[in-house]
Amino acid sequence: MFNIASLNSQYNSEINDIIQHKTKPPGALGLLENCAAQLASIYSQKQQKLVTKISIIKPSMLVFAGDHGIAQHPISIAPSAVTRQMVLNFMAGGAAVNCFCRTNEIAFKVIDAGIIEPLSIDETRHCDAFIEQRLGAGTADFSTQAAMTESQVEQGLKLGSQIAQQTIDEGCNLLMLGEMGIGNTSAAAAILVALTGQSVDECVGQGTGIDRQQLALKKSLIQTGIDRLHCSSTPLSTQQIIAEFAGFEIVQMVGAICAAAQAGIPVLVDGFIVTSAVLLACKLHPQVRDYLIFAHQSNEKAHLLMLSILSAEPLLHLGLRLGEGTGAALALPLLKSAASFYNDMASFDSAGVTV
């Protein structure tokens, strides 16, 4: 479905020279230097010439929402109805991610990928930020059956790809993703177990802040879902893992990530749920990894494990565990700062500084 080119090293030497000749000791700007180098390399490859000025244009946040059958069990502090309520909150501009997007001038859209109860025409009539591309009224309970059909996986990848490409066609050259879905930390943890073979204990955390009894139930249900598949001697394909455990919002994020990489556009990655989609996208197309910048390390237990698997060094560690794309929105000023020093900081020669 996707044709993704690896990021080549054609311009790396020249980009490194630009960075190392700035008026600073080598490496003194830490991860900002890595960010500048990666952005310059991505944009140089896309433009097929050395980029000496990094331009971040119309950075955009896509928040995908979907409900999860696993949430019919008491594994969250909130019922599934909250997913829909939060979609309305996003549309009204009242969520944390809305605040951060306004502050940092990030274009915003919220996508109904498959919440239980669709929004009415009256609820959506005056909101240009809302997009409906539903795969169903929430997924099935993966502790007893596959979360979705393989046909829904294919459709979800396509829909996520289309909205990402539409956003890029509107002028965006930096994509951020967020999510909303009661129960989606369970889905992300199950995906991590299925992809890596790590234990449920290592992969499952407290999500929104559940108590010990709820955490024990959450682990038990995820283990039951994993055990359903142990009778098969054939390893699951990545698309089968998506079908078994993912949410409708997660599969669409996988499509969006792959589409951005295919278009040569960097993706600023949020927390635990978005990173589960990243793992799946990288499993489908390893070249995707070249286009990813990791915003933060969340407080969800297994996010550090995910980052380690991806050899990712996140920009921030603020103790976040909200999702919604909040960490990515908060990290954007760091990318802009990386672009600023790359573009405007004097070189030793231009400043007449001798070392």
Active site (catalytic) residues: 324
Q: Give the residue from 128, 54, 71, 10 showing the smallest Cα distance to 338.
A: 54
Q: How many residues does the chain have?
A: 355
Burial (CB count within 10 angstroms: exposed 0-12, middle 13-18, buried 19+), residue 271: buried
96: its two tokens = 């944390």
Q: How many CA atoms lie within 13 A of 20 on its CB side?
A: 7
Helix (H, G, I), strand (E, B) or coil at 323: coil
Phi, psi dihedrals of residue 121, rounded to the nearest 5°:
-60, -40
Q: Taking each helix axis from N to C terminus, what angle separates 96-103 and 326-344, rounded to the nearest 10 degrees?
A: 20
13: its two tokens = 């030497």
Q: Taking each helix axis from N to C terminus, what angle separates 150-169 and 238-245, rounded to the nearest 10 degrees?
A: 100
CA 225 – CA 117 distance, rounded (Å): 25
219: its two tokens = 């682990």
Beta carbons of 129 and 224 less than 8 angstroms apart: no
Beta carbons of 280 and 309 less than 8 angstroms apart: no
279: its two tokens = 């793992």
Burial (CB count within 10 angstroms: exposed 0-12, middle 13-18, buried 19+), residue 51: buried
